[in-house]
């Protein structure tokens, strides 16, 4: 089953996908190297051929830019099979909707062809327009499970997320981010979107590491907050 992650900007779609990819990195010591997750960003210029070129580039495969769509599709499917690709991720998928209907149809046809040929799970992510794009092909739409990311209003859910997220920070000491007090502070500073919460915690971890601290404290969260808002590095 394929998956469509739906949510506005800041809801944490890209964070979830990046975190998943980090959990399943390429395995370089195998011959040939195994690529577990292939992830690309769909742009407003993407159509079927452009999508295949991006996918081939992502797995390090050579191709001729002027190759026909069918050749690019065949090459990617063969090389993805050799590399044992396990998952294909298309982020910002809503950008596949074009003012030109023919370009939009070529994009959705490419995703359908991938689904038919490679038989690997496909994850698409973006805003509400993702559903509109998938509906261009009713059969393809029915192959996707739609998951809409909600606004987090329950502190318990945030606490569970923070406790799990803390384990990925790799700090020597426990920060206890999943406690009620820390969750309250994180929600006060970052709001109720997963993306902004994750960004704040990541930045707080960078602040802590820069300061030589062994864990994230409320002071690090406060220092990270203005850096996030200004878009400055810690």
The reply to whether 132 and 24 lie within a common domain is yes
Q: What is the CATH number of the domain that holds 179?
A: 1.10.8
Pairwise CA distance, residues 133 & 107, whole Å? 9
Provide the angle, in degrees to the nearest 10, between the axes of the packed helices 194-210 and 218-230: 110
Does 10 lie in the same domain as 85? yes
Asked whether residue 13 falls in the same domain as residue 114, the answer is: yes
How many residues are recorded in the chain?
234
If one counts every other C-beta atom within 10 angstroms of the C-beta of residue 89, the result is: 23
Residue that terminates a domain, selected from 148, 182, 210: 148
For residue 26, give the 3-state DSSP assignment.
coil
Domain boundary among 116, 148, 180: 148
Looking at the 3D structure of the chain, how many domains does it have?
Answer: 2
Residue 19: give its domain's CATH number. Answer: 3.40.50.300
159 and 124 belong to one structural domain: no
Q: Are residues 141 and 186 in the same domain?
A: no
User: In the prediction, which pLDDT does 168 show?
Assistant: 83
Q: What is the pLDDT of residue 46?
A: 85
Q: Are residues 144 and 166 in the same domain?
A: no
pLDDT of residue 233: 38
194 and 169 share one domain: yes
Torsion (CA) 117, 121, 68, 137 in degrees, nearest 10:
90
C-alpha closest to that of 118 among 14, 13, 2, 29: 2
Alpha helices, H only, 86-137: 101-118, 129-134
Ranges of the chain with pLDDT below 50: 230-234
Measured CA to CA, the distance from residue 36 to residue 55 in angstroms comes to 13
Asked if residues 72 and 56 have their Cβ atoms less than 8 Å apart, the reply is yes
Using CA atoms, how far residue 61 sits from 39, 49, 52, 146, in Å, is 14, 15, 11, 31
Final residue belonging to a domain, choices 92, 119, 148: 148
pTM exceeds 0.75: no
Q: In this predicted structure, what is the pLDDT of residue 231?
A: 40
pLDDT at site 11: 67
pLDDT at 16: 74
Same domain, 211 and 127: no
Phi and psi at residue 37, to the nearest 5°: -130, 125
Burial 200-211 (b: 16+ CB within 10 A, else e): bbbbbbbbbbee
Of 114, 2, 96, 109, whose CA–CA distance to 41 is shortest?
96
- Pairing status of strand 37-41 against strand 122-126: unpaired
Domain of residue 36: give its range: 2-148
Write down the pLDDT at residue 144: 96
Shared domain for 191 and 137, answered yes or no, is: no
Residues 76 and 45 grouped into a single domain? yes
Q: Please indicate, yes or no, whether residues 8 and 118 belong to a single structural domain of this protein.
A: yes
Query: In the prediction, which pLDDT does 180 show?
Result: 93
Q: Are residues 122 and 22 part of one domain?
A: yes
């Amino acid at each position: 089953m394929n998956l469509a992650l739906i949510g506005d900007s800041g809801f944490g779609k890209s964070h979830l996908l990046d975190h998943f990819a980090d959990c399943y990195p390429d395995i370089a010591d195998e011959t040939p190297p195994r690529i577990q997750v292939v992830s690309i960003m769909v742009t407003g210029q993407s159509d079927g051929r452009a999508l295949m070129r991006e996918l081939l580039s992502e797995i390090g495969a050579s191709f001729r830019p002027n190759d026909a769509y069918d050749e690019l599709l065949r090459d990617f499917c063969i090389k993805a099979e050799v590399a044992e690709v396990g998952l294909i991720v298309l982020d910002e998928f809503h950008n596949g909707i074009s003012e030109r209907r023919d370009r939009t149809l070529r994009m959705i046809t490419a995703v359908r062809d991938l689904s038919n040929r490679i038989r690997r799970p496909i994850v698409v992510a973006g805003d509400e327009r993702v559903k509109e794009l998938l509906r261009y092909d009713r059969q393809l739409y029915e192959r996707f499970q739609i998951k809409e990311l909600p606004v987090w209003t329950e502190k318990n859910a945030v606490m569970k997320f923070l406790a799990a997220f803390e384990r990925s920070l790799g700090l020597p000491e426990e920060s206890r981010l999943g406690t009620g007090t820390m969750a309250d502070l994180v929600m006060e500073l970052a709001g109720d979107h997963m993306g902004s919460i994750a960004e704040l915690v990541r930045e707080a971890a960078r602040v802590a590491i820069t300061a030589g601290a062994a864990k994230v404290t409320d002071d690090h969260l406060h220092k990270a907050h203005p850096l996030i808002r200004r878009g400055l590095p810690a």
